[in-house]
Amino acid sequence: MYDVNLIRKDFPVLEKVIYLDNGATTQTPKPAVDAMLDFYYNYTANYGRGAHHLSIAATNAYEDARDSVASFLNAPSEKMILTKNTTDSINMVANGFGFESGDHIITSVVEHHSNIVPWLRQKEKGVSVSVVDIDSEGMIDPKNIEAEITEQTKLVAVSHISNVFGSVQDIKTIIQIAHKSNVPVLIDGAQSAGHTPVDLKELDCDYFAAAGHKGLLGPQGTGVLYLKNPETIKPTSLGGGTTSDADRTCFVTKEPPESFEAGTPNLPGVIGLGASVEYLKKIGVANVEKHEVALAKEAAKRLSEIDGVSIYGPKERAGLVAFNVKDLEPHTVAMRLDKYDNICVRSGFHCAMPSQKFLGIKGSSRASFALYNTPDEVDALIEGVKRIAKES
Protein backbone atom coordinates (compact mmCIF):
# COMPACT_ATOMS: atom_id res chain seq x y z
CA MET A 1 0.00 0.00 0.00
CA TYR A 2 0.94 3.66 -0.01
CA ASP A 3 1.09 6.40 2.61
CA VAL A 4 -2.14 8.34 2.14
CA ASN A 5 -0.97 11.18 4.37
CA LEU A 6 2.12 11.60 2.23
CA ILE A 7 0.30 11.82 -1.09
CA ARG A 8 -2.27 14.24 0.34
CA LYS A 9 0.51 16.83 0.25
CA ASP A 10 0.24 16.72 -3.55
CA PHE A 11 -3.38 17.95 -3.35
CA PRO A 12 -3.33 21.31 -1.49
CA VAL A 13 -7.11 21.82 -1.45
CA LEU A 14 -7.44 18.85 0.92
CA GLU A 15 -6.04 21.04 3.68
CA LYS A 16 -9.18 23.18 3.42
CA VAL A 17 -12.04 20.75 2.80
CA ILE A 18 -13.23 17.14 3.05
CA TYR A 19 -13.68 16.35 -0.60
CA LEU A 20 -16.00 13.38 -1.30
CA ASP A 21 -17.20 14.27 -4.79
CA ASN A 22 -14.60 12.29 -6.70
CA GLY A 23 -17.18 10.55 -8.87
CA ALA A 24 -17.76 13.92 -10.53
CA THR A 25 -14.15 15.05 -10.70
CA THR A 26 -11.00 14.32 -8.75
CA GLN A 27 -8.31 16.73 -7.64
CA THR A 28 -5.22 16.95 -9.83
CA PRO A 29 -1.82 16.29 -8.20
CA LYS A 30 0.98 18.83 -8.16
CA PRO A 31 3.21 16.91 -10.64
CA ALA A 32 0.46 17.15 -13.26
CA VAL A 33 -0.09 20.85 -12.59
CA ASP A 34 3.68 21.39 -12.78
CA ALA A 35 3.77 19.63 -16.14
CA MET A 36 1.12 21.99 -17.48
CA LEU A 37 2.92 25.02 -16.12
CA ASP A 38 6.13 23.81 -17.76
CA PHE A 39 4.30 23.75 -21.10
CA TYR A 40 2.98 27.28 -20.63
CA TYR A 41 6.28 28.69 -19.39
CA ASN A 42 8.76 26.90 -21.60
CA TYR A 43 7.40 25.48 -24.85
CA THR A 44 3.91 26.71 -25.69
CA ALA A 45 3.29 25.93 -29.35
CA ASN A 46 0.83 24.09 -31.55
CA TYR A 47 0.74 20.35 -32.15
CA GLY A 48 2.41 19.13 -35.33
CA ARG A 49 2.08 22.52 -37.01
CA GLY A 50 5.69 23.56 -37.39
CA ALA A 51 9.33 22.61 -37.74
CA HIS A 52 10.63 24.92 -35.02
CA HIS A 53 11.86 23.50 -31.76
CA LEU A 54 8.94 24.68 -29.61
CA SER A 55 6.43 22.96 -31.87
CA ILE A 56 8.51 19.80 -31.86
CA ALA A 57 8.72 19.84 -28.06
CA ALA A 58 4.95 20.37 -27.72
CA THR A 59 4.18 17.59 -30.20
CA ASN A 60 6.54 15.17 -28.51
CA ALA A 61 5.08 15.93 -25.07
CA TYR A 62 1.55 15.37 -26.40
CA GLU A 63 2.48 12.03 -27.95
CA ASP A 64 4.38 10.99 -24.82
CA ALA A 65 1.16 11.58 -22.86
CA ARG A 66 -0.78 9.44 -25.33
CA ASP A 67 1.80 6.68 -24.88
CA SER A 68 1.47 6.93 -21.09
CA VAL A 69 -2.31 6.57 -21.17
CA ALA A 70 -2.19 3.75 -23.73
CA SER A 71 0.41 1.87 -21.69
CA PHE A 72 -1.61 2.41 -18.51
CA LEU A 73 -4.64 0.76 -20.14
CA ASN A 74 -2.55 -1.79 -22.08
CA ALA A 75 -3.54 -0.66 -25.54
CA PRO A 76 -1.63 0.38 -28.70
CA SER A 77 -1.02 4.13 -28.84
CA GLU A 78 -2.34 4.42 -32.40
CA LYS A 79 -5.72 3.14 -31.16
CA MET A 80 -5.98 5.63 -28.30
CA ILE A 81 -7.86 8.79 -29.30
CA LEU A 82 -7.52 11.83 -27.06
CA THR A 83 -10.85 13.58 -26.51
CA LYS A 84 -12.54 16.14 -24.23
CA ASN A 85 -14.21 13.71 -21.80
CA THR A 86 -16.19 10.46 -21.63
CA THR A 87 -19.26 12.10 -23.15
CA ASP A 88 -17.26 13.31 -26.13
CA SER A 89 -15.76 9.85 -26.59
CA ILE A 90 -19.12 8.07 -26.57
CA ASN A 91 -20.65 10.59 -28.95
CA MET A 92 -17.77 10.04 -31.37
CA VAL A 93 -18.82 6.40 -31.56
CA ALA A 94 -22.54 7.17 -31.70
CA ASN A 95 -22.10 9.67 -34.54
CA GLY A 96 -19.30 7.89 -36.37
CA PHE A 97 -20.62 4.33 -36.36
CA GLY A 98 -23.03 4.90 -39.25
CA PHE A 99 -26.22 3.47 -37.76
CA GLU A 100 -29.05 2.94 -40.23
CA SER A 101 -32.78 2.38 -40.03
CA GLY A 102 -33.48 -1.15 -38.78
CA ASP A 103 -30.32 -1.38 -36.69
CA HIS A 104 -30.54 -2.26 -33.01
CA ILE A 105 -28.59 -1.07 -29.94
CA ILE A 106 -28.60 -2.54 -26.42
CA THR A 107 -27.87 -0.53 -23.29
CA SER A 108 -29.17 -0.55 -19.71
CA VAL A 109 -31.20 1.48 -17.24
CA VAL A 110 -28.18 1.91 -14.94
CA GLU A 111 -26.28 4.06 -17.41
CA HIS A 112 -25.10 7.64 -17.03
CA HIS A 113 -26.93 9.92 -19.47
CA SER A 114 -23.77 9.99 -21.57
CA ASN A 115 -24.22 6.29 -22.31
CA ILE A 116 -27.94 6.27 -22.98
CA VAL A 117 -28.96 9.61 -24.52
CA PRO A 118 -26.64 9.29 -27.59
CA TRP A 119 -28.16 5.86 -28.31
CA LEU A 120 -31.75 7.02 -27.80
CA ARG A 121 -31.08 9.80 -30.29
CA GLN A 122 -30.35 7.16 -32.93
CA LYS A 123 -34.06 6.34 -32.85
CA GLU A 124 -34.47 9.42 -35.05
CA LYS A 125 -32.82 7.33 -37.79
CA GLY A 126 -35.14 4.39 -37.25
CA VAL A 127 -32.76 2.53 -34.94
CA SER A 128 -34.37 0.51 -32.14
CA VAL A 129 -32.88 0.66 -28.64
CA SER A 130 -33.32 -1.96 -25.91
CA VAL A 131 -32.74 -0.67 -22.36
CA VAL A 132 -32.35 -3.72 -20.13
CA ASP A 133 -33.39 -3.71 -16.49
CA ILE A 134 -31.16 -4.05 -13.44
CA ASP A 135 -31.74 -5.62 -10.05
CA SER A 136 -32.34 -3.64 -6.87
CA GLU A 137 -28.58 -3.30 -6.32
CA GLY A 138 -27.84 -1.88 -9.74
CA MET A 139 -26.48 -5.05 -11.33
CA ILE A 140 -27.01 -6.07 -14.94
CA ASP A 141 -27.66 -9.77 -15.50
CA PRO A 142 -25.63 -10.66 -18.61
CA LYS A 143 -28.41 -13.08 -19.59
CA ASN A 144 -30.70 -10.08 -20.05
CA ILE A 145 -28.23 -8.67 -22.57
CA GLU A 146 -28.08 -12.02 -24.34
CA ALA A 147 -31.88 -12.21 -24.54
CA GLU A 148 -32.06 -8.90 -26.39
CA ILE A 149 -29.49 -9.70 -29.09
CA THR A 150 -30.95 -10.12 -32.57
CA GLU A 151 -29.57 -10.27 -36.09
CA GLN A 152 -30.07 -6.51 -36.27
CA THR A 153 -28.05 -5.74 -33.13
CA LYS A 154 -25.09 -3.54 -34.02
CA LEU A 155 -23.80 -2.52 -30.58
CA VAL A 156 -23.97 -3.24 -26.86
CA ALA A 157 -23.09 -0.23 -24.67
CA VAL A 158 -22.77 -0.62 -20.89
CA SER A 159 -20.94 1.03 -18.02
CA HIS A 160 -18.16 -0.72 -16.12
CA ILE A 161 -19.10 0.82 -12.76
CA SER A 162 -22.34 2.64 -11.94
CA ASN A 163 -21.93 6.21 -10.72
CA VAL A 164 -25.05 5.80 -8.55
CA PHE A 165 -24.88 2.26 -7.16
CA GLY A 166 -21.16 1.64 -7.24
CA SER A 167 -22.08 -1.68 -8.83
CA VAL A 168 -19.29 -3.32 -10.80
CA GLN A 169 -20.76 -5.01 -13.86
CA ASP A 170 -19.61 -8.36 -15.21
CA ILE A 171 -18.38 -6.76 -18.39
CA LYS A 172 -16.13 -9.68 -19.33
CA THR A 173 -19.14 -11.97 -19.59
CA ILE A 174 -21.19 -9.32 -21.40
CA ILE A 175 -18.39 -8.85 -23.94
CA GLN A 176 -18.05 -12.60 -24.47
CA ILE A 177 -21.81 -12.98 -24.98
CA ALA A 178 -21.96 -10.13 -27.48
CA HIS A 179 -18.91 -11.32 -29.40
CA LYS A 180 -20.47 -14.79 -29.84
CA SER A 181 -23.02 -13.01 -32.03
CA ASN A 182 -20.36 -10.76 -33.62
CA VAL A 183 -21.76 -7.72 -31.85
CA PRO A 184 -19.23 -5.06 -30.80
CA VAL A 185 -19.24 -3.67 -27.26
CA LEU A 186 -18.64 -0.19 -25.91
CA ILE A 187 -17.64 0.14 -22.27
CA ASP A 188 -18.21 3.38 -20.38
CA GLY A 189 -15.15 3.43 -18.14
CA ALA A 190 -15.74 6.85 -16.58
CA GLN A 191 -15.91 5.37 -13.06
CA SER A 192 -13.37 2.58 -13.55
CA ALA A 193 -10.27 3.94 -15.29
CA GLY A 194 -7.82 4.83 -12.55
CA HIS A 195 -10.02 3.34 -9.83
CA THR A 196 -9.56 -0.32 -10.77
CA PRO A 197 -7.04 -2.08 -13.02
CA VAL A 198 -8.18 -1.98 -16.66
CA ASP A 199 -6.42 -4.14 -19.23
CA LEU A 200 -7.96 -3.43 -22.62
CA LYS A 201 -6.09 -6.22 -24.37
CA GLU A 202 -7.44 -8.78 -21.91
CA LEU A 203 -10.89 -7.20 -21.78
CA ASP A 204 -11.21 -7.30 -25.58
CA CYS A 205 -13.94 -4.67 -25.79
CA ASP A 206 -14.32 -2.81 -29.07
CA TYR A 207 -14.64 0.69 -27.66
CA PHE A 208 -13.64 2.05 -24.26
CA ALA A 209 -14.44 5.61 -23.19
CA ALA A 210 -13.09 7.36 -20.11
CA ALA A 211 -12.52 10.82 -18.67
CA GLY A 212 -9.15 12.25 -17.79
CA HIS A 213 -10.54 14.24 -14.86
CA LYS A 214 -11.91 11.38 -12.77
CA GLY A 215 -9.96 8.31 -11.70
CA LEU A 216 -7.04 9.24 -13.93
CA LEU A 217 -6.53 12.43 -11.85
CA GLY A 218 -6.02 14.57 -14.92
CA PRO A 219 -7.32 18.04 -15.76
CA GLN A 220 -10.87 18.70 -16.86
CA GLY A 221 -11.37 18.83 -20.60
CA THR A 222 -9.45 15.61 -21.24
CA GLY A 223 -10.66 12.13 -22.12
CA VAL A 224 -9.79 9.01 -24.05
CA LEU A 225 -11.46 6.73 -26.57
CA TYR A 226 -9.97 3.33 -27.36
CA LEU A 227 -10.87 1.90 -30.76
CA LYS A 228 -9.93 -1.74 -31.18
CA ASN A 229 -10.65 -1.40 -34.90
CA PRO A 230 -10.47 2.31 -35.80
CA GLU A 231 -11.78 1.64 -39.31
CA THR A 232 -15.23 0.86 -37.85
CA ILE A 233 -15.75 4.52 -36.94
CA LYS A 234 -15.67 7.54 -39.22
CA PRO A 235 -14.18 10.74 -37.82
CA THR A 236 -16.97 13.09 -36.76
CA SER A 237 -14.87 16.26 -37.12
CA LEU A 238 -12.56 17.08 -40.00
CA GLY A 239 -10.14 19.87 -40.73
CA GLY A 240 -6.78 20.96 -39.37
CA GLY A 241 -4.54 18.09 -38.38
CA THR A 242 -6.72 15.36 -39.91
CA THR A 243 -5.87 15.87 -43.57
CA SER A 244 -2.83 14.55 -45.45
CA ASP A 245 -3.82 15.97 -48.87
CA ALA A 246 -6.55 18.23 -50.22
CA ASP A 247 -7.50 20.35 -53.22
CA ARG A 248 -10.70 22.12 -54.25
CA THR A 249 -12.51 18.86 -55.03
CA CYS A 250 -11.36 16.20 -52.56
CA PHE A 251 -9.29 15.42 -49.48
CA VAL A 252 -7.44 12.52 -47.92
CA THR A 253 -7.49 11.94 -44.18
CA LYS A 254 -4.51 10.88 -42.13
CA GLU A 255 -4.27 7.56 -40.34
CA PRO A 256 -5.60 7.14 -36.79
CA PRO A 257 -5.26 8.56 -34.24
CA GLU A 258 -4.67 11.89 -36.01
CA SER A 259 -7.72 11.44 -38.24
CA PHE A 260 -9.94 11.65 -35.13
CA GLU A 261 -8.32 14.70 -33.53
CA ALA A 262 -9.31 17.71 -35.61
CA GLY A 263 -8.08 21.18 -34.75
CA THR A 264 -5.74 22.36 -32.05
CA PRO A 265 -5.93 19.87 -29.17
CA ASN A 266 -5.90 20.59 -25.46
CA LEU A 267 -2.12 20.32 -25.32
CA PRO A 268 -1.60 21.46 -21.72
CA GLY A 269 -4.48 19.31 -20.52
CA VAL A 270 -3.22 16.19 -22.28
CA ILE A 271 0.31 16.81 -21.00
CA GLY A 272 -1.13 17.11 -17.49
CA LEU A 273 -3.08 13.90 -18.03
CA GLY A 274 0.09 12.09 -19.03
CA ALA A 275 1.79 13.27 -15.86
CA SER A 276 -1.16 12.25 -13.67
CA VAL A 277 -1.19 8.77 -15.21
CA GLU A 278 2.52 8.39 -14.48
CA TYR A 279 1.74 9.49 -10.91
CA LEU A 280 -0.89 6.75 -10.66
CA LYS A 281 1.48 4.15 -12.06
CA LYS A 282 3.91 4.76 -9.20
CA ILE A 283 1.19 4.30 -6.59
CA GLY A 284 -0.40 1.30 -8.30
CA VAL A 285 -4.07 1.15 -9.30
CA ALA A 286 -4.60 -2.09 -7.40
CA ASN A 287 -3.53 -0.24 -4.25
CA VAL A 288 -5.87 2.63 -5.07
CA GLU A 289 -8.77 0.24 -5.58
CA LYS A 290 -8.17 -1.53 -2.28
CA HIS A 291 -8.04 1.78 -0.43
CA GLU A 292 -11.15 3.29 -2.03
CA VAL A 293 -13.26 0.13 -1.72
CA ALA A 294 -12.42 -0.18 1.97
CA LEU A 295 -13.53 3.41 2.62
CA ALA A 296 -16.77 3.00 0.67
CA LYS A 297 -17.60 -0.30 2.33
CA GLU A 298 -17.10 1.22 5.78
CA ALA A 299 -19.13 4.30 4.87
CA ALA A 300 -21.99 2.21 3.47
CA LYS A 301 -22.08 -0.04 6.53
CA ARG A 302 -22.18 2.83 9.00
CA LEU A 303 -24.63 4.92 6.99
CA SER A 304 -27.03 1.97 6.85
CA GLU A 305 -26.97 1.82 10.65
CA ILE A 306 -28.28 5.40 11.02
CA ASP A 307 -32.01 5.58 11.64
CA GLY A 308 -33.78 7.11 8.66
CA VAL A 309 -30.90 6.71 6.20
CA SER A 310 -31.30 4.61 3.05
CA ILE A 311 -28.31 3.51 0.98
CA TYR A 312 -28.24 2.08 -2.52
CA GLY A 313 -26.05 -0.48 -4.24
CA PRO A 314 -24.51 -3.87 -3.50
CA LYS A 315 -22.48 -4.85 -0.46
CA GLU A 316 -19.45 -5.47 -2.69
CA ARG A 317 -19.22 -2.04 -4.24
CA ALA A 318 -16.71 0.24 -5.87
CA GLY A 319 -15.55 3.40 -4.10
CA LEU A 320 -18.82 5.29 -3.75
CA VAL A 321 -22.11 5.19 -1.87
CA ALA A 322 -25.37 6.99 -2.64
CA PHE A 323 -27.84 7.61 0.16
CA ASN A 324 -30.88 9.55 1.31
CA VAL A 325 -31.76 10.92 4.74
CA LYS A 326 -35.44 10.49 5.60
CA ASP A 327 -37.57 12.69 3.32
CA LEU A 328 -34.99 15.43 2.93
CA GLU A 329 -34.12 16.67 -0.52
CA PRO A 330 -30.63 15.43 -1.50
CA HIS A 331 -29.49 19.00 -2.12
CA THR A 332 -30.53 19.93 1.42
CA VAL A 333 -28.38 17.13 2.82
CA ALA A 334 -25.42 18.16 0.66
CA MET A 335 -25.74 21.83 1.60
CA ARG A 336 -25.88 21.02 5.32
CA LEU A 337 -22.80 18.80 5.07
CA ASP A 338 -21.03 21.59 3.25
CA LYS A 339 -22.09 24.37 5.62
CA TYR A 340 -21.66 22.65 8.97
CA ASP A 341 -19.06 19.93 8.31
CA ASN A 342 -17.02 21.31 5.39
CA ILE A 343 -17.79 18.11 3.45
CA CYS A 344 -18.36 18.14 -0.31
CA VAL A 345 -20.71 15.42 -1.60
CA ARG A 346 -22.75 15.21 -4.79
CA SER A 347 -26.52 15.54 -4.80
CA GLY A 348 -29.30 15.13 -7.34
CA PHE A 349 -29.72 12.58 -10.10
CA HIS A 350 -25.97 12.37 -10.91
CA CYS A 351 -26.84 12.52 -14.64
CA ALA A 352 -28.42 9.08 -14.24
CA MET A 353 -32.15 9.69 -14.03
CA PRO A 354 -33.31 6.31 -15.41
CA SER A 355 -31.63 4.32 -12.64
CA GLN A 356 -32.95 6.52 -9.83
CA LYS A 357 -36.44 6.53 -11.30
CA PHE A 358 -36.10 2.74 -11.40
CA LEU A 359 -35.52 2.89 -7.63
CA GLY A 360 -38.49 5.19 -7.18
CA ILE A 361 -36.43 8.02 -5.68
CA LYS A 362 -36.00 11.66 -6.62
CA GLY A 363 -32.24 11.78 -6.51
CA SER A 364 -29.74 11.02 -3.77
CA SER A 365 -26.63 12.32 -2.06
CA ARG A 366 -23.41 10.57 -3.01
CA ALA A 367 -20.06 10.23 -1.30
CA SER A 368 -17.38 9.06 -3.69
CA PHE A 369 -13.83 8.31 -2.64
CA ALA A 370 -10.37 8.72 -4.15
CA LEU A 371 -6.87 7.59 -3.32
CA TYR A 372 -6.32 10.58 -0.99
CA ASN A 373 -9.38 10.18 1.26
CA THR A 374 -8.96 8.87 4.80
CA PRO A 375 -10.87 6.90 7.47
CA ASP A 376 -11.09 10.14 9.49
CA GLU A 377 -13.04 11.69 6.63
CA VAL A 378 -15.44 8.75 6.68
CA ASP A 379 -15.90 9.38 10.42
CA ALA A 380 -16.69 13.03 9.70
CA LEU A 381 -19.25 12.05 7.04
CA ILE A 382 -20.99 9.65 9.42
CA GLU A 383 -21.17 12.20 12.22
CA GLY A 384 -22.51 14.83 9.85
CA VAL A 385 -25.25 12.55 8.51
CA LYS A 386 -26.14 11.44 12.04
CA ARG A 387 -26.66 15.06 13.03
CA ILE A 388 -28.80 15.78 9.98
CA ALA A 389 -30.94 12.67 10.60
CA LYS A 390 -31.39 13.58 14.27
CA GLU A 391 -32.40 17.15 13.49
CA SER A 392 -34.88 16.14 10.79
Active site residues: 351
How many other β-carbons are positioned within 10 Å of the β-carbon of residue 237? 15
Q: What is the dihedral of CA 256, 262, 263, 264, to 10 degrees?
A: -40
Give dist(CA 88, CA 110) in Å, integer.
19
Measured CA to CA, the distance from residue 9 to residue 369 in angstroms comes to 17
User: Residue 185 in contact with residue 274, Cβ under 8 Å?
Assistant: no
* Alpha-carbon separation of residue 356 from 87, 134, 159, 363 (angstroms): 20, 11, 16, 6
DSSP β-ladder status, 223-227 and 128-132: unpaired
Dist CA 86 CA 222 (whole Å): 8
CA distance 55 to 106: 44
